[in-house]
């Protein structure tokens, strides 16, 4: 099926290369990555987005947006005694990812979710 993207996965990295044209595999792609540098607890960002975002933005584009935001660096450094932390900077980043994708001409649905996860605990 030309142009059909699998919607039940976070990515279709190699699906089209290993499956006959017109066939969609039901086997999910699973990868495991170690987060953090092993020196202790840290906070990392997890960005999940639809192909409408990833079709027009690279991982580096997303990293550049994150690094330009001081509010997110503060969240990653700790909540400063605030419980629960203010998650508005994460919401703002997700919204901006969608808006930038639309502005770059994405022709697909654009959805993004940004979460902060603790690693190395």
Assessment of whether the complete model's pTM goes beyond 0.75: no
Q: Using CA atoms, how far apart are residues 90 and 114, in angstroms rounded to an integer? A: 6
Residue 42 pLDDT: 74
Residues 84 and 100 in one domain: yes
Residues 22 and 62 in one domain: no
The domain total for the chain is: 2
Residues 59 and 109 in one domain: yes
Domain encompassing residue 97: 35-119
Residues 10 and 43 in one domain: no
Residues of the chain scoring pLDDT < 70: 1-28, 40-41, 78-85, 120-121
Residues 27 and 42 in one domain: no
Residues 1 and 46 in one domain: no
Residues 67 and 105 in one domain: yes
């Amino acid at each position: 099926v030309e142009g059909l993207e699998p919607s039940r996965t976070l990515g279709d990295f190699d699906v089209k290369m290993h499956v006959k044209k017109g066939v969609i595999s039901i086997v999910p792609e699973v990868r495991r990555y170690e987060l953090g540098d092993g020196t202790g607890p840290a906070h990392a960002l997890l960005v999940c987005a639809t192909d409408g975002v990833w079709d027009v933005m690279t991982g580096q584009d997303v990293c550049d947006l994150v690094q330009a935001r001081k509010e997110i660096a503060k969240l990653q450094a700790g909540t400063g005694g605030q419980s629960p932390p203010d998650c508005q900077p994460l919401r703002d980043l997700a919204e901006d990812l969608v808006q930038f994708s639309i502005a770059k001409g994405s022709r697909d649905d654009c959805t993004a979710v940004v979460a902060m996860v603790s690693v190395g605990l």
